[in-house]
Amino acid sequence: MRYGAKILFEDVSTVFQAGRRYGLTGPNGAGKSTFMKILTGELEPQKGNIGLPRRIGVLSQDQFAFDAYRVIDTVIMGNKGLWAALEERERLYEKAELTDDDGMRLGELEGVVAENDGYAAESDAAILLDGLDIPESLHERKMSELQGGQKVRVLLAQALFGAPEGLLLDEPTNHLDLESIHWLQDFLNRYQGTLICISHDRHFLNSVTTHIADIDYQTIITYTGGYDDMVLAKTQIRSRIESQNAQREKKIDQLKEFIARFSAGTRSSQVTSRKKEVERLQTSDLAKSNIARPFIRFEMKRPSGKHALETKNLSKAYGDLQAVSDFTCSVSRGEKIGVIGRNGAGKTTLLRTIIAGGPGVSDDFIRDGGVIEWGHEVNIGYFPQDPRATISLGMTILDWLREFDPQASNEELRGLLGQMLFARDESSKPTDALSGGEVARLVFCRLMLQKANVLVLDEPTNHLDLESINALNFALQKFDGTLFLVTHDHDLLEETATRIWSMTNHQIEDFRGTYDEFQAKTA
């Protein structure tokens, strides 16, 4: 498949074997989603053939396609053959009188329903929905009544329904909280068919996949093991080829020097043999990788005081719904707090309640009650859940960035943009034209420019690829200031947080320790 002069992949021959779980990886723009669309039949390959199992579960990306249907029916639609049989059977039973042909057809349909475990379809669908935190009270509702995150979980249940022979999942952990992600990991590890999954969640890939199919160098190379195993093997292979090439080039230079010195002399036979050896030693052609790694480093203009934050009886409600209730805490400089909880538990509300009116924050959020005291010299850098809302439109990204440090030179600002993978000529790109990933990277440029000593990050990995998430992880581990972090990325949480705030029913459990230690305690 190619788009114009850009080749995504060429002459790819590979087999995804039954019982194996493949992570489909590669840098942004490598063609992961395109390859997945070719497998699902949404796109035709420009060349080549594909063989598929009889029934495949696919995670639908259209959240509105099933708005007219009940939630439970939307899940059962994951088995197209069963759903068609159930609908036709329903239509026949609605007839006032049945003909002999109708009776024969009903018998055939009952056979299809039985063969597909259709009599247990609703209970099987309900189990999937419960595991994905869709309560029974919503099962009979129309899809149009659900929130966006709930719709995604229903569509995930649809893909998983009926144990399909193949599962094609494109970013299945998007909009899932950590508990739902862990449930999905357990489910997929028990799955017996062939799984092909695109994900930017390193822990999820390491936990679920038995193999990685990596799209890079205009082809697909399969590695055994999880994502970390693939990165190690890929690095070793490339390093070995580069080393071999260096040795060959050194030998070729020596041979060429001999040829140049003696080509006109009496040692013509030796010159000829060395020319043949030069041809034999030609170095392996190393295709250029598409991987681009951003560089993130959070520095501070000055550290805060020893006590970064004190709160007392903090509260926030929306009408009768209490989100935060009488929360009291003390946070010392350098602590890194991970905020966890189910979707809708109030994590974003908690962050905004804490930082409202804080130094360096222009959020106009209003808390209901309580006292907040920020420490000496505290300066807050905030990454909101919807970073696009913080970016002014109708200007270039360079001009927008300059607003946060008018003294910074164009070269310094372009350097920051370059660190976050904006090409030099993209500094004049209008803010109106930014993609979701570009918006996130631009906000990280702003945070690096501000040099705050308290970072408040609300789901910062949305729209980031694996390379960017790994760069953020490393930067947060190195950050000497105070951190408040909401994320559904297990590795980012485990490797950065030194303290956990767990939210349940507007109450907050304050645990001093890592996320894995918290999980062990609550297991």
pLDDT digits (tens, 9 = 90+) for 489-523: 999 999 999 999 999 988 899 999 999 999 999 88
- Read off the pLDDT band of 51 (50, 70, 90): very high
What is the mean pLDDT of the segment spanning 25-40?
87
Specify the amino acid at residue 517: E
Q: How many residues does the chain have?
A: 523
Domain identity same for 47 and 134:
yes
Give the domain-ending residue among 230, 264, 291. 230
In a domain, 289, yes or no: no
Q: How far apart are CA 371 and CA 354, in angstroms?
A: 10
Domain identity same for 55 and 152:
yes
Q: Report, in angstroms and rounded to the nearest whole number, the Rg of the chain calculated over CA atoms.
A: 28
Domain identity same for 104 and 208:
yes
Contacts with 450 (C-beta within 8 Å, 6 or more apart), sequence order:
360, 379, 381, 404, 405
- Read off the pLDDT band of 290 (50, 70, 90): low
Residue 257 has φ and ψ, to the nearest 5°, of -65, -40
User: Tell me, what's the pLDDT at 445?
Assistant: 96
Give the domain-ending residue among 230, 263, 285. 230
In a domain, 277, yes or no: no
For 332-356, how does the pLDDT look when each residue is reduced to its tens digit (9 = 90+)?
999 999 999 988 889 999 999 999 8
Domain identity same for 226 and 329:
no
Domain identity same for 220 and 326:
no
**H or E element, residue 222:** strand 219-224
Give the domain-ending residue among 202, 230, 258. 230
Closest CA to 461 of 397, 387, 357: 387
Q: Which two tokens stand for residue 402?
A: 């300059």
Which DSSP state fits 430? B
Top-ranked range on mean pLDDT: pick from 214-223, 289-298, 307-316: 307-316
- Asked if residue 38 lies in contact with residue 44, where contact means CB atoms within 8 angstroms, the answer is yes
In a domain, 385, yes or no: yes
Q: Which two tokens stand for residue 13?
A: 């021959």
Per-chain mean pLDDT for the chain: 89
User: Tell me, what's the pLDDT at 462?
Assistant: 85
- Which residue segment(s) compose the domain that 502 sits in? 307-522
In a domain, 284, yes or no: no
Lowest mean pLDDT among 56-65, 85-94, 366-375: 56-65
What is the mean pLDDT of the segment spanning 152-163?
89
- Read off the pLDDT band of 281 (50, 70, 90): low
Closest CA to 465 of 67, 278, 199, 194: 199
Of all residues in the chain, the percent with pLDDT exceeding 90 is: 61
In a domain, 300, yes or no: no
In a domain, 378, yes or no: yes
What is the mean pLDDT of the segment spanning 8-32?
90
Domain identity same for 6 and 107:
yes
Contacts with 478 (C-beta within 8 Å, 6 or more apart), sequence order:
297, 298
CA geometry: angle at 496 spanning 177 and 310, to 5°? 90
- Asked if residue 76 lies in contact with residue 156, where contact means CB atoms within 8 angstroms, the answer is no
Domain identity same for 449 and 349:
yes
Domain count, the chain: 2
**Residue 114: how many other CB atoms lie within 10 Å:** 11
Contacts with 118 (C-beta within 8 Å, 6 or more apart), sequence order:
82, 85, 86, 112
Q: What is the CATH number of the domain that holds 123?
A: 3.40.50.300
Residue 176 has φ and ψ, to the nearest 5°, of -100, 140
